[in-house]
Amino acid sequence: MDEVTERWDTYYLLPAGSHYAGNRKVLDFWRGLLGQNAVELDDLDAVCETIALTVGLGEQAIDLDAGLDDLNRAGSTATRTVSRALAALGGGRRAVAALPFTPTDGDSGITRL
C-alpha cells in the first residue's frame, strides 16, 4: 500500500447500498491505510459526481467549493451528498506527486496524468 500511495492518489469509496456500507470495521480499516482518502458516501446515486470531483481535486484543477458550484449549475441532485463525502479532502488544492519517467527527448518528465 505504501508503494501505491507513494506513486498515485489512492482512494477507497464506500457507497451506501454496497455490501459493506455502514460497516465501521471496514471503513476504519481503509481509513487506517488511506486516512481521509477513504470516503464514505451516503447515496449510491452520487458515485459518478463524487469520483469526478475527486479527480478534479487530485489534479488541482478545481477546489471543493467551485466543484460543488459546478454540480449545482449542471443540475445535479448529489451536491449535498458529495459535499459531505469530500469535506475531509477540503477546499484546498492537493499536491500531485510526480510520476516516474525517463526522458528520452530532453523532456523534464510527467507531473500529472
Residues 80-101 have a mean pLDDT of 66
Global pTM reads: 0.73
Higher-confidence residue of 100 and 86: namely 86
Domain membership of residue 7 (yes or no) is yes
Q: Measure the CA–CA gap between 39 and 13, rounded to whole angstroms.
A: 5
Q: Which residues contact 11 (CB under 8 A, 6 or more apart)?
A: 34, 37, 38, 39, 54
> Contact 48/22 with Cβ under 8 angstroms?
no
Range of the domain at 33: 2-89
Q: Look at the alpha carbons of 44, 48, 53, 54 in this order and tell me if their dihedral is positive or negative.
A: positive
pLDDT for position 74: 94
Return d(Cα 8, Cα 24) in angstroms, integer.
Answer: 25
State the total domains in the chain.
Answer: 1
- Looking at the domain assignment, is residue 79 inside a domain? yes
Q: What is the mean pLDDT of the chain?
A: 82
Residue 60 resides in a domain: yes
CB 64 within 8 A of CB 91: yes
59-68 pLDDT, tens digit each? 889 999 999 9
pLDDT surpassing 70 at residue 111: no
Does residue 62 fall inside a structural domain? yes
Would 33 be classed as within a structural domain? yes
Tens-place pLDDT, residues 44-61: 999 999 999 999 998 889
Is 94 domain-assigned? no
